[in-house]
A and B are shown apart, each in its own frame.
Chain A
C-alpha cells in the first residue's frame, strides 16, 4: 500500500510509512523490526533504545498520563523512537498489538526464541540512561499476565467500541486511557510499573494501538481536537514538539494499515 502526503505546504508529496498489525507482519518485516530493536538496545547513547525508554519514567519522567496530554505526548514519543529505529534498519515501523481483538500477548513478543537467538521483543534490560542504579530497580523487564486476577483481560472489544462512540476529545481521551491503564495492569510485572514499563518493547506495540485508536477516532471526527488551551503546549520530548504538531499523523510521516486516508490529488 502506498500513501503519500506533503511534508510541508509547498513540498512534493512523500511516501508515508505504514504501521501494521504485529500479527500481519511478513517474516521479513518482523525480522527487520527485531534487528532494528536489537541494534538500538546495543547502543548506549542518545540513539539507543534505553535512552528512549528512559524518557517515560525512570530516570527522566517525561510522560503524561491521566490528562489531555496523554495522547499527544505518546504520539510524539512513538514518532521519535520510530525514527531512531529507522536509522538502524531503513523502513521499519512500529507494529501495533490489537488488544481490542487479541486475547493474549502476541507470539512475536512472547516467544523466548526468534530467528535462532533470544527474542529481543520478549525481554529487555532495564538500564536507565546516565543514571546510577538504585536499590529496588529491576535489571530486566518482566510480565506476569493476570497478577492482579481481578483485572479484566483482553480483548477489550466493548471498551474499544465505547471509546469510539465518544463525541468529543476529552471523553475519547479518558475512555482510551482507561483501557490503556487496564492493559498495563493486566500484563503485570514491570509493564504495570509506570516508571519501568517503557523498557519493554511490548510497550510500544501497546501504545501504537492506543495511537491507532486516536487516529481512527480522528478520521471519524474531523476537527475534534484537544482543548484549545493545550494546542500550543510543548510536549517534553527530545526535541520537543507542540501538541498542534502531532495532530495529523500524515505530517509525522506515517499511517496505519486499514484506516481511511485522504491525500492531495494531482491538481
Chain B
C-alpha cells in the first residue's frame, strides 16, 4: 500500500459552495491498475481505518491502467506532434485528470476548518508501497 498525504488545501466557507471536487491532475496510467481510498484531515488513515464518515472518508477512485510497456523500445515514450500537420491521435499514455466528488465529505467537516489535508491510500495487485499513484498536482474545486 502507498500512502500519500497532501499539503494543506484552503477550504472555503461552507456557505459559499454547493459542490466540491478533488481533481488529481496528470495521473499516470502506464503501470498496474490500482484503486485509491481518500480521507480528509486524517493523515493517520491506513488500511485498517474504517471507510466511514466518522473517519472523514471521502470516496474511492480506481484506474484501469496498461500494466507495462508491451511494445518495442520507445513504444511507450510520449512524443510531441512532429509537425503542425500531425493529425495522429494523442499518445495513449498521456496522463489524465481524475475527479472525485467529495461534496458530502467536505460538508461534514467543521465549518471553521479553513484548511484540510488529503490522504490517499493506493493499492495495486503487487502490493507496492510507492509509485502506485503518480500525479502532478491536486486541486480542490468548489462550485457555487
Chain A interfacial positions (CB closer than 8 Å to B): 57-59, 61-63, 65-67, 134, 136-137, 147-152, 174, 178, 180-182, 184-185, 188, 192-197, 236
B110 at the A/B interface (Cβ < 8 Å)? Answer: no
Q: What residues of chain A lie closer than 8 Å to B99, measured between beta carbons?
A: 174
- Do A182 and B35 touch across chains, with their CB atoms under 8 A apart? yes
Q: Is the interface of A mostly helix, strand, loop or mixed?
A: loop
Chain B residues contacting A62 (CB-CB under 8 Å) are 89
Q: Whole-angstrom distance from the CB of B98 to the nearest CB of chain A? A: 7
Question: Which of B34, B47, B70 has most chain A Cβ within 10 Å?
Answer: B70
The total number of A-B Cβ pairs within 8 Å is 83
Pick from B33, B47, B64, B65: contact of A150, CB under 8 Å: B47
**Would A193 and B62 count as touching, CB distance under 8 A?**
no
Closest Cβ of chain B to A222, distance in Å, is 24
Is A192 within 8 A of B96, CB to CB? no
Beta-carbon contact of A61 and B29 below 8 Å: no
B39 at interface, CB cutoff 8 A? no
Q: In the complex the two chains form, what is the Cα distance from A61 to B67 in whole Å?
A: 13
Contact with A along B61-103 (1 / 0, CB 8 A): 1111111101100000000000000000100100011110000
Minimum CB–CB distance for A32 against chain B, Å: 30
Residue pairs across A and B with Cβ atoms less than 8 A apart, 19 shown, are A57-B66, A59-B71, A66-B98, A134-B70, A137-B70, A147-B125, A148-B123, A150-B123, A152-B60, A181-B62, A185-B35, A188-B125, A192-B33, A192-B125, A193-B33, A193-B66, A194-B66, A195-B67, A236-B89
B: which residues have CB within 8 A of A? 27, 29, 32-35, 37, 47, 60-68, 70-71, 89, 92, 96-99, 121, 123-125
Q: In the bound complex, how far is the Cα of B96 from the Cα of A182, in angstroms? A: 16
Determine the chain B residues whose CB is within 8 A of the CB of A61 once the complex forms: 92
CB distance from B44 to the nearest CB of A (A): 17
Q: CB-CB < 8 A to B33: which residues of A?
A: 148, 181, 184-185, 192-194
Tell me which residues across on chain B come within 8 A of A180, comparing CB atoms: 64
Known A-B contacts A66-B98, A182-B62, A194-B64; A150 and B92 likewise in contact (beta carbons under 8 Å): no
A139 vs chain B, min Cβ distance (A): 14
* Contacting pair B68 A136 (CB below 8 A): yes
- Taking a contact as CB atoms under 8 Å apart, the answer to whether A66 and B96 are in contact is yes
Q: Hey, which chain B residues are within 8 Å of A185, CB to CB?
A: 33-35, 62-64
A134 to B96, CA, bound (A): 28
Residues of B close to A134: CB separation below 8 A: 70-71
Residues of A with C-beta under 8 A to B47: 150
* A148 & B92 in contact (Cβ 8 Å cutoff): no
